Amino acid sequence: MSQIIAVANQKGGVGKTTTVFNVGAVAAAQGYKTLLVDLDPQAALTASLGLQPNRLSKSIYHLLLAKELDPEQVVVRDLRPNLDILPANNDLVRSDVDLAQQIGREYLLQESLFPLKAEYDLILIDNGPTLGMLTVNALTAADQVFVPLVCEYLALRGMGMLIELVRKVREQTNPKLKMLGLIINMYDPSSLHSREVYEEAKRIFGSYVFEPPIPKSARFAEAAAAQRPMAEYDPSHPAVAIYRQVVARIMTPAEEKPTEEKAAEAPLEVA
C-alpha cells in the first residue's frame, strides 16, 4: 500500500517544490516506485523534471475535473528510474473556481489517485503557497502532511493557519491524517534570528523537526538550473542525509517507528 504525503505550507519560498523533488528522487534511487503530483499552479515541480508545462495537453487539472479521464493519459513515466509525475500546467490557475462547482470537491484528488495507489510505494504531493481547495484536496487524499519551513518569525507564526486547516480536514474529510514532520530550509547559523526561530520550532514541535536544519546554499540554485536532484548534483551535500531521513521515516512501518516526544495530535494544538 502506498504512502501519500502532502507537502504543504501557505507561505511561498520555503522550499516545498525543492523538498518534493529531492525526497522523491532519493526514494526512487532507493528502489521505491514514486509518483510526484504537481498541485501548484506555478508548475515548478513539472519544470524541475525537464517538462514544459504549457506544452502539455493533459495535466492534473484535467484529471481532477474529468472523472472519465484515464490517469494513464496524464502520468508522465520514467523521467528517472522509479520516478513518475502527474504534471501541472497553467490550467491549474483556475482550479479553485472550477472545483467550487463540483460535488464532493474535497475528494477529487483522492478519487483521481485511487487507481494509481497500488502501483506506487510513495506518492508525494507538491502544493502551492495557498490554503485553498487544491491544498484541501491534497490533505484529504494524504496519509501524512510534511511541512517545509524557513527560520523566519513570520513563517513560524503562519504555521497556525496550516495547523487549523489540518485540524478541520481531520474533523471533516480525513480523520487519519497525521503529521510527518517539519524540515527546516535555508538555515543561516550566523543569524541570531535564524537560530532563535529554529530553537522555537524545536520547542513547539519536538522530534517532529528533522535535524540538522538544511543550510542556505547556492548549490540548490545550481542543481535546479541543471534540473537534477541534490543527491545527483552534489551527493555530499548535508541536505541529502536529511532527505534520506525523511524517506526512512515515511517508509518505516507504523509499529516500528520510534516513540515521538509528543502524541501525533500534539503539534496540531499549537496556535
**Euclidean distance between CA atoms 146 and 125, whole angstroms:** 10
**Looking at the predicted structure, is the pLDDT value of residue 265 above 70?**
no
- The CATH number of residue 37's host domain is 3.40.50.300
pLDDT digits (tens, 9 = 90+) for 137-161: 999 999 999 999 998 888 888 888 9
**Looking at the predicted structure, is the pLDDT value of residue 260 above 70?**
no
Strand partners, 127: 39
Q: Are 54 and 7 in contact (CB under 8 A)?
A: no
Rounded average pLDDT over 84-100:
90
Residue 270 lies in a domain: no
**Euclidean distance between CA atoms 12 and 43, whole angstroms:** 14
Residue 192 lies in a domain: yes
Residue 149 lies in a domain: yes
Residue 184 lies in a domain: yes
Rounded average pLDDT over 71-84:
94
Give the type of residue at 56: L
Total residue count of the chain as it appears in this document: 271
The pLDDT confidence band at residue 254, using thresholds 50, 70 and 90, is low
Residue 250 lies in a domain: yes
DSSP state of 71: G
pLDDT of residue 6: 97
Residue 61 lies in a domain: yes
Domain tally, the chain: 1
pLDDT digits (tens, 9 = 90+) for 41-74: 999 999 999 999 989 989 999 999 987 888 989 9
Phi, psi of 38 (to 5 degrees): -95, 105
Residue 266 lies in a domain: no
**Looking at the predicted structure, is the pLDDT value of residue 99 above 90?**
no
Burial of 260 (0-12, 13-18, 19+ CB in 10 A): middle
Element holding 169 (H helix, E strand): helix 159-172
Domain range enclosing 175: 3-254
Residue 180 lies in a domain: yes
Q: What percent of the chain is modeled with pLDDT above 90?
A: 74
